[in-house]
Chain A
Amino acid sequence: MAKRIEVSGLNVYYGDFKAVEDVSMTVEPRSVTAFIGPSGCGKSTFLRTLNRMHEVIPGARVEGKVMLDQQDLYGAGIDPVAVRRVVGMVFQRPNPFPTMSIFDNVASGLKLNGVKDRKKLTEVVESSLKGANLWNEVKDRLDKPGAGLSGGQQQRLCIARAIAVEPEVILMDEPCSALDPISTLAIEDLIEKLKDRFTVVIVTHNMQQAARVSDQTAFFNLAATGKPGRLIEMAPTKQIFSNPAEKATEDYITGRFG
């Protein structure tokens, strides 16, 4: 229940525009890897290639390899739908399904994939909500709409929804940027807990957050507007924040630009 991701020589294009150039990295299982970097540096784009979510945008394509343990996610005959079942995602803005109750939101991944067994669904909903530190707050109102929760609760609901399908990897695209500090803390505690079971990759603009939650940090940057984003440096988080190898990384984390 947690796999290693090995990326080699990855280029991402939107039509003719090269958004990300030549990224190679290894994301370790049962750890948290943070992507930091200025806006437009391609970190979110790169994150979305890890579960083939970028393909939702017409004209987007990829060169290179993304290996999930032994399997190439971009190999022949690989179905993006099947990839997303093992590599889940949490988005920047909480996006619970507005037509569904809290229970149905958490169960949606299983239900929409054909699981009907009510007993199994009830078990999964309870364990997922507990796993997302939300159970105590919602256990008495599971039949109420998910959209009625606060922003932070909605985001934890989305995390519960993502872990309910038991993925190997969870990708998080700035999961706290729409939340207040208290809700952010709740999510960060949760990320700490999630890494016992999953491989977690998180994109964040908040460097303290990267320092707090991640084991490895990757710094992305782009040479200039209109140029593709590149991976500048990836190292254990402690090292990135205390003794980065690259000047650009040091400039960024000390706030000299970006």
Chain B
Amino acid sequence: MTAVAENKPAYDGKVLDLTGKSGARAFKNTLATVLIVLAFAVAMIPLLWILFTVVSKGYHLLLSADWWSQSQRGITVRRAGGGAYHAIMGTLIMALITAVIAVPIAILGAIYLVEYGKGTRAAKVVSFMIDILTGVPSIVAALFVYAVWITVFGFNRVGFAVSLSLVLLMLPVVLRSTEEMLKLVPDELREASYALGVPKWKTILKVVVPTAFGGIITGVMLGLARVMGETAPLLILVGYSKNINLNPFNGFMGALPTMINQDRTELALPNAADRVWAAALTLILLVLALNLLARLIARFSAIKSK
């Protein structure tokens, strides 16, 4: 040990500047930090403002049991009373039908793009079309379904037609998010499965999709949240009904966005205004509930590591 100590070179006496602080860099750092915090605040202000306004103006109607169990049947804009049951059920039924149609197509499409079509011409075409579909405004999707469903086939304006147009809006959202989630699954897991003599389709079904499941569910819920607030397809493809109608293939149907639209026309009347805010809050809560449900499912099925 002593030999080592004796051989140790002496300090060279030079003190290095390790504080790393120079005036210009510190200033830039502060400036960037301030800008970022400001940008965050600017983004948060409208969100909090909206939430505060909607909650404060809408919450009291939600406290009554009638709101969750009654329709607006026979309630004129001037009168108070009634509920949003018809609109909540309409929104949920149409969203459910949309999901039942869109989710399998989107997930199978994403599996094709990631697992089978990678790099092929067909995959590039599909991918490009999905990009276009992402940019289609809801009113265009609605008019397209109107042209096919009502003009060509001669059906009536019903809830199912709304679901068809919402499928066009939900499909690209779910497909893209599922695609990203499948891409995140490491190839090593696929190879591990192949090395056990497991066929490709079973590898996808039992290894790849379960690994990506949490992310896929989140994508589905984001897609649902997106379509539940759409108004244009409702206005074009199904009339607003104040009565409870649970049949998506017959008659007009209530929905939360069109209920808001209905009472909005008489916003000067206090009872109508109350209903507008309450319906808006209900819609936000429905979307929130779906998101929480998605989180729960994702956590329940999460990749376990401990």
Report whether A53 and B195 are in contact in the complex, using a CB–CB cutoff of 8 Å.
Answer: yes
Report whether A98 and B211 are in contact in the complex, using a CB–CB cutoff of 8 Å.
Answer: yes
CB distance from A54 to the nearest CB of B (A): 10
Report whether A147 and B197 are in contact in the complex, using a CB–CB cutoff of 8 Å.
Answer: no
Q: Does A224 belong to the interface (CB within 8 Å)? A: no
Report whether B194 and A53 are in contact in the complex, using a CB–CB cutoff of 8 Å.
Answer: yes
Q: Does B131 belong to the interface (CB within 8 Å)? A: no
Chain A residues within 8 Å of B188, by CB:
91, 93, 95
Partner of B189, one of A81, A85, A95, A101: A95
Closest to B203 in A: A112
Q: Does A4 belong to the interface (CB within 8 Å)? A: no
CB distance from A35 to the nearest CB of B (A): 17
Partner of B206, one of A53, A91, A112, A144: A112
Q: Does B198 belong to the interface (CB within 8 Å)? A: yes
Report whether B196 and A148 are in contact in the complex, using a CB–CB cutoff of 8 Å.
Answer: no
Partner of B197, one of A90, A93, A113: A113
Interface size of A in residues (CB-CB distance below 8 Å):
33
For window 139-153 of A, CB contacts with B under 8 Å fall at: 144-145, 147-148
Closest to B188 in A: A95
CB distance from B300 to the nearest CB of A (A): 12
Partner of B196, one of A82, A98, A165: A165
CB distance from B64 to the nearest CB of A (A): 45
Chain B residues within 8 Å of A85, by CB:
196-197
Chain B residues within 8 Å of A147, by CB:
303-305
Q: Does A84 belong to the interface (CB within 8 Å)? A: yes
How does the 8 Å CB contact mask read for A122-144 relative to B, with 1 for contact and 0 for none? 00000000000000000000001
Chain A residues within 8 Å of B154, by CB:
none
Report whether A109 and B197 are in contact in the complex, using a CB–CB cutoff of 8 Å.
Answer: yes
Q: Does B306 belong to the interface (CB within 8 Å)? A: yes
Closest to B192 in A: A95
Q: Does B210 belong to the interface (CB within 8 Å)? A: yes
In the complex, A81 Cα to B306 Cα: how many Å?
A: 32
Q: Does A77 belong to the interface (CB within 8 Å)? A: no
Report whether B118 and A58 are in contact in the complex, using a CB–CB cutoff of 8 Å.
Answer: yes
Report whether B192 and A97 are in contact in the complex, using a CB–CB cutoff of 8 Å.
Answer: yes
Q: Does B119 belong to the interface (CB within 8 Å)? A: yes
In the complex, A82 Cα to B194 Cα: how many Å?
A: 10
For window 195-231 of B, CB contacts with A under 8 Å fall at: 195-200, 202-203, 206-207, 210-211, 213
Closest to B199 in A: A81
Contact of A112 with B202 at beta-carbon distance under 8 Å, contacts A89-B195, A98-B305 already known: yes
Partner of B306, one of A99, A145, A162, A165: A145
Q: Does A51 belong to the interface (CB within 8 Å)? A: yes
Chain A residues within 8 Å of B199, by CB:
81
CB distance from A135 to the nearest CB of B (A): 20
Report whether A109 and B211 are in contact in the complex, using a CB–CB cutoff of 8 Å.
Answer: no
In the complex, A23 Cα to B244 Cα: how many Å?
A: 76
For window 196-230 of A, CB contacts with B under 8 Å fall at: none
Q: Does A3 belong to the interface (CB within 8 Å)? A: no
Q: Does A88 belong to the interface (CB within 8 Å)? A: yes
In the complex, A222 Cα to B200 Cα: how many Å?
A: 33
CB distance from A111 to the nearest CB of B (A): 8
In the complex, A116 Cα to B304 Cα: how many Å?
A: 24
Q: Does B191 belong to the interface (CB within 8 Å)? A: yes
Closest to B197 in A: A85
In the complex, A112 Cα to B192 Cα: how many Å?
A: 12
In the complex, A144 Cα to B304 Cα: how many Å?
A: 8
Q: Does A108 belong to the interface (CB within 8 Å)? A: yes
Report whether B196 and A56 are in contact in the complex, using a CB–CB cutoff of 8 Å.
Answer: no
Contact of A95 with B186 at beta-carbon distance under 8 Å, contacts A58-B118, A58-B119 already known: yes
Q: Does B190 belong to the interface (CB within 8 Å)? A: yes
Chain A residues within 8 Å of B305, by CB:
98, 145, 147-148
Q: Does B138 belong to the interface (CB within 8 Å)? A: no
Chain A residues within 8 Å of B262, by CB:
none
Chain B residues within 8 Å of A58, by CB:
118-119
Q: Does B193 belong to the interface (CB within 8 Å)? A: yes
Q: Does A30 belong to the interface (CB within 8 Å)? A: no
For window 137-186 of B, CB contacts with A under 8 Å fall at: 186
Report whether A112 and B196 are in contact in the complex, using a CB–CB cutoff of 8 Å.
Answer: yes
Contact of A113 with B198 at beta-carbon distance under 8 Å, contacts A91-B188, A97-B189, A98-B211 already known: yes
Most buried by A among B191, B192, B207: B192
Q: Does A43 belong to the interface (CB within 8 Å)? A: no
Q: Does A195 belong to the interface (CB within 8 Å)? A: no
Report whether B207 and A97 are in contact in the complex, using a CB–CB cutoff of 8 Å.
Answer: yes
State the B residues within 8 Å of A (CB). Answer: 118-119, 186-200, 202-203, 206-207, 210-211, 213, 301, 303-306
Closest 9 CB pairs of A and B: A85-B197, A109-B196, A145-B304, A89-B195, A95-B188, A98-B303, A84-B197, A112-B198, A99-B210
